[in-house]
Every structure is written in structure tokens, then in C-alpha cells.
Amino acid sequence: MRLRLVIFSFASALIIPHLDAQSPPAQVSGPLAAEPAIMGELLQGRYSNTILGVTLEFPANCQIEDLEGSESFSRELPRRMHLHFKCGEDRVLLAAFPVTPDEKLDNVFRVSFMGVRDAGGFQAVGKQMSTNIDGCEVLSQNVRRESESGVYRGFFSHGYYVTVLHFGPKSTEGAREANVLTLSVHAQSPVDKPSEGETTATKKVDPKLHADAVKLVEVLGAKQYLQDNLEKMADDGQKALMDKCQECTPEFGKEWKKRFIERTNLSDYLDVFVRAYEKYFTDAEINELIALKQDTSKTAVPSPALKEKLAAVMPALMADQIGDCSKLGAKLGGEIGAEIGREHPEYTKPPANSAKP
């Protein structure tokens, strides 16, 4: 089901025009944090992360911005991370979140780039490219916004999807490209199953955070959007079904669509959106998002801290929402298809190449 449309509309309502510096850069050497370990370490311009299997070579003057905020984020979500590097006039945003073995790099990259586009205000320049670095496929997309340009890269490593967004003024393009190309990916392996120690423990959500996340989803108009687009989503699902099921008659497809619309519970999808906002944002951040959406002056903009947070977490948030919504649609669609097959065998026909008696 193409529920991704509602997610993209949410992100579009919160477009970030700039990613300004939040606080004086932190002077960092040695391990970035004893815990969470996923933070990695920065030593004299060389960033290394053994959990992600990644090394990045930066100029020696590169520093970490808002290290405390990044540590707090990874303590809340131990298998996710984001770091902000400041290298002179350039910025580098490094982020990672876990993926499952059946994920396709092209799909994840496409979805995560939409988060960069909608949350960061970047536009694609030219075509998406694919390169091989240390035996690992790395997808990249050149980007620009106003007077800035850069490159966005994404790849799978050690069970994670890792992204690197490197951008700055056009005057630094040459040096920037040289820095980005030093990306090194170690010991590539198929997407690994997370170890027991890496899994995030389920924790009870604060009631106020939950109530405010519900309110945010309401003011974003998610329910109305789903209601307005349910039939189109069912049409898309019916077309996909009929394209794959050569034995299904038109009657099968019509019955499938009818039952899908009747039995789709929009509350299940709204719960997915709520859980995602609870997972990635604090209560204060959610309330700021609500205020921005309700502001009618059209002049309100996110605070610098919220701009950075949105740019860092939107790719992972959108991937979570789309993945969970897809699971809901696939589960219901599969159940309906099996029911129709049992109840109406006349709605299927023998394969065209089946042997005649």
C-alpha cells in the first residue's frame, strides 16, 4: 500500500531552510562516549566506528557539534546514532539505524533521501550514482540548496543503514569531494542480525509524551489524509495483486478491493505514526512541532535545535513508519486474498500454460 505518501506530506510541512550551528563545537579526542558505544571515536580528524564498520577521514580541524545531544539520542535509542561534524565552513551529518536482512539498499536510500529533501530543504542534482568502496555498494546523490551544495551517501554495513551528508558553500566543493572519497567501509557482511545486547529494551512511554504525539498526528491531518486516499491505496493494491496473480479473475480483484476498504482500520496506521514520533522526539520537540503547524502567520520556523534534530532523524523515522505501515497492509491484504481463494474458487482460473487433460 502506498502509505508513504502521508509520511512525505508530514515531512513537507516541516521543511527546514537551513541547518545552522547550534552551539560551540565540542573539542573531542579519544572515544566519543564510553556509552553508548555506537558513537565511535574521533582522533586527529579520523573518525572510526567499529560497530558500524566505518572510517571517515576529515581535516584535522573538524570538531563535533552538540555532542551531548547526540549522546542523549543514542542512550534513548541504543541502535541509532547521529553525529554533526563542523569542518571549517562545511558540515557533515553522519547517521545510522538498524535494517533487516530483506531490506533493499535502493529502496531504503530512496526513502531516506526524501527525508533529507523534505527535512533539510535539499534538492537532487543529476542522477543517483552507485560506487563500490571496499566491496560495499554505496549509493550517492549530489544535492544543493540556495548557496550550498553537497553529496548524500548511503550504504549497508554490519546490520545498519549508514548515511553521510556532507555539504557547504560552493567555494569548498573541490576539497569536500576529496574528503568524502576517503570513506572506508570495513569487513562488509550481509545485514547481520543484531545481537541480544544490541536490542533496544521496550520501555513504557510517558503518558504526556503519548498524548502530545497523538495531538501532533491529529494537527498534521493524518486521519483525513488516510480517509481521502484510502480508495486510491486500495486501487494500487488491487493493481499490484492482479499484476502478480495471473490466475486471479477481475472478480477476485474487485472483491479484494471491497474487503480491503471495509476492513482497513485507520487507527492502526495512526498508531504507527504516533509511535514513531514518540520514539524520535522529546515532548518539548513535539510541542514545538504542534505550535509550528498551528501557526497561521506563515512566518514561524523551527528553532535551530529542532532543525538539526529533524535533519538527523527524519530518514530513520520515515523508514520506520513506511515499514510498519507496509506490514499492516501486507498482513490484511494476504488474509483477504486467502479468504477469497477459499470462499470463491471460481474467482481463479488455471494458469495459461497449464497442460490440458
Q: Are 81 and 280 in contact (CB under 8 A)?
A: no
Where do the domains of the chain lie? 21-197, 207-346
pLDDT of residue 2: 29
Residues 196-238: tens digit of each pLDDT: 333 333 457 789 999 999 999 999 999 999 999 999 989 988 8
CA angle 213, 197, 112 (to 5 degrees): 45
Q: What cell does 53 get?
A: 564498520
pLDDT of residue 6: 32
Residues 96-147: tens digit of each pLDDT: 988 887 788 998 898 888 888 877 788 999 999 998 776 788 899 999 988 8
| 36: pLDDT strictly greater than 70 | no
Taking Cα atoms as reference points, which of 315, 117, 81, 88 lies closest to residue 179? Answer: 88
Average pLDDT over residues 50-60: 80
Average pLDDT over residues 5-11: 33
13-27, 59-73, 232-246: which range is least confident on average?
13-27
Residues 293-315: tens digit of each pLDDT: 888 877 788 898 888 888 888 87
Q: Are 129 and 139 in contact (CB under 8 A)?
A: yes
CB environment 185-196: b (16+ within 10 A), e (fewer) = bbeeeebeebee
Q: Which residue has the higher pLDDT, 299 or 23?
A: 299
pLDDT of residue 4: 30
pLDDT of residue 28: 42
pLDDT of residue 35: 45
- The correct CATH number of 21-197 out of 3.40.1000.10, 3.40.50.150, 3.40.640.10, 2.30.30.30 is 3.40.1000.10
- Counting other chains too, the contacts that 124-130 makes at CB distance below 8 Å and 24 or more residues apart are 125/149
Q: Which residue has the higher pLDDT, 155 or 296?
A: 155
> In sequence order, what are the beta bridge partners of 83?
94
Q: How many CB atoms lie within 10 A of CB 255?
A: 20
H or E segment and range at residue 112:
helix 105-120
Q: Are 326 and 3 in contact (CB under 8 A)?
A: yes
